[in-house]
């Protein structure tokens, strides 16, 4: 036996024990699932026409903002870090409605947010959001299979179809089950549900907290390219935050990375991807966009669904 084998197994065992302990806490918390695919729903259009035009790249950022606790810090990361500051699309996880609206307002972006559950202990809704500088033409919630073995809570993806000039892009922001919630096989089935849904569309971006490091084979089987396959870890457990792309309109991402600055804002690091567009857009992100009055950052009332 190698001399380093036992310490390695010990570290892995500690990580598994930590996850199981978290699972035990979740069992006490529980929650209420929002099972309706139509709501609750919160959304707002882009508040003003952006001054800059479209570039040759679609810049996508994914960020799990731990329980929406440190929103001011998260805003500073998203607004001040150069790799994130010119994002076209921001995918957020573990969000509340108010936190989503605050970030979208600070970044001058439109958004759609669907909570997946009402968290029992926190007494708040949590879910995923899509923020965009481009028009959101359609949105919905995709409920994923396999509830938590401890808490009985579900997972979901917030889905938006955005129009970048003449190209419609299907975008998914998701947060798959943790190792404490579901097995690896079931987590892959959650991802496969999203990938199959996206297969109906000519251009797709899937991003979020996948709670696993290896997405390669399931993604390739569905025709997706793993944009973040070479990035460093995003949590203390490993590389769990990812972006996948599919479709002829989206070329193989030229650059991808992880932002280590601002780690105190969350237990996850933000990931970013620059996706080359096959044809350079010639229009502003929004030729026609609605304008909100200054200070009107409150989220729209939820529609659909029930507790």
**53-92, pLDDT tens digit by residue?**
556 899 999 999 999 999 999 999 999 999 999 999 999 9
Helix, strand or coil for residue 208? strand
Mapped onto helix, strand or coil, the DSSP state of residue 128 is strand
pLDDT: which is higher, 226 or 15:
226
Please compute the mean of the pLDDT values over residues 19-28 and round it to a whole number.
Answer: 46
pLDDT given at position 28:
45
| DSSP structure string for 155-169 | -EEEEEEEEETTEEE
DSSP bridge pairs for 273: 60, 256
- Quickly list DSSP for 81-125: SHHHHT-SEEEEEEE-HHHHHHHHHHHT-EEEEEEEEEETTTTEE
Identify the band that residue 277 occupies on the pLDDT scale cut at 50, 70 and 90: confident
136: pLDDT strictly greater than 90: yes
Q: Is 9 exposed, middle or buried (0-12, 13-18, 19+ CB in 10 A)?
A: exposed
pLDDT category, 15, cuts 50, 70, 90?
low
Which range scores top for mean pLDDT: 24-33, 268-277, 278-287, 298-307?
268-277
Tokens linked to 231: 């990035």
CA distances from 59 to 16, 90, 298 (A): 34, 9, 26
Which class does domain 5-276 fall in? alpha beta
Q: Which of 26-40, 197-211, 257-271 has the least mean pLDDT?
A: 26-40
Give the DSSP letter of residue 138.
Answer: E
Predicted pLDDT at 20: 46
Please give the Cα distance from 117 to 306 (Å, whole number).
Answer: 11
Whole-number pLDDT of residue 264: 76
Q: What is the 3-state secondary structure (H, E, C) of 230-297?
A: CCCCCECCECCEEEEEECCCECCCCEEEEECCCHHHCCCCEEEEEEEECCCCCCCCCCCCCCCCCCCC
193: which 2 tokens? 């549900």
H or E element in which residue 154 lies: none
Report domain extents, the chain. 5-276
pLDDT at 166: 82
d(CA 250, CA 167) in angstroms, rounded, equals 10
Q: What is the pLDDT of residue 56?
A: 83
Closest CA to 157 of 133, 180, 129: 129
The pLDDT of residue 303 is above 90: no
Tens digit of pLDDT for each residue in 181-216?
Answer: 999 999 999 999 999 999 999 999 999 999 999 887
Bigger pLDDT: 278 vs 130:
130
Percent of the chain whose pLDDT exceeds 70: 77
> Using 50, 70 and 90 to split pLDDT, how confident is the model at 50?
low
* pLDDT value of residue 121: 84
pLDDT at residue 8 in the model: 47
């Amino acid at each position: 036996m190698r001399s380093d084998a036992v310490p390695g197994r010990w570290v892995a065992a500690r990580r598994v024990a930590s996850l199981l302990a978290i699972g035990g806490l979740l069992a006490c918390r529980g929650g209420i699932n929002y099972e309706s695919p139509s709501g609750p729903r919160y959304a707002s259009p882009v508040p003003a026409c952006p001054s800059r035009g479209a570039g040759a790249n679609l810049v996508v950022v994914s960020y799990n903002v731990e329980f929406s606790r440190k929103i001011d810090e998260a805003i500073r990361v998203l607004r001040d870090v150069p790799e994130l500051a010119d994002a076209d699309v921001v995918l957020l996880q573990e969000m509340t409605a108010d936190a989503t609206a605050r970030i979208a307002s600070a970044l001058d972006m439109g958004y759609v947010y669907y909570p997946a559950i009402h968290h029992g202990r926190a007494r708040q809704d949590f879910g995923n959001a899509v923020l965009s500088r481009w028009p959101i033409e359609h949105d919905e919630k995709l409920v994923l299979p396999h509830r938590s073995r401890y808490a009985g809570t579900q997972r979901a993806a917030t889905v938006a179809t955005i129009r970048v000039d003449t190209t419609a892009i299907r975008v998914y922001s998701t947060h798959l089950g943790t190792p404490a919630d579901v097995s690896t096989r079931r987590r892959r089935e959650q991802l496969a549900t999203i990938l199959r849904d996206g297969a109906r569309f000519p251009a797709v971006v899937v991003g979020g907290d996948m709670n696993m490091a290896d997405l390669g084979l399931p993604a390739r089987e569905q025709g997706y390219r793993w944009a973040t396959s070479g990035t460093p870890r995003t949590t203390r457990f490993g590389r769990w935050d990812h972006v996948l792309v599919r479709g002829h309109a989206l070329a193989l991402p030229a650059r991808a990375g992880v932002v280590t600055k601002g780690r105190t804002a969350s237990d996850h690091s933000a990931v970013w991807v620059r996706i080359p567009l096959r044809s350079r857009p010639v229009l502003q992100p929004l030729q026609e966009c609605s304008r909100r009055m200054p200070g009107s950052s409150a989220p729209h009332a939820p529609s659909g669904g029930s507790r």
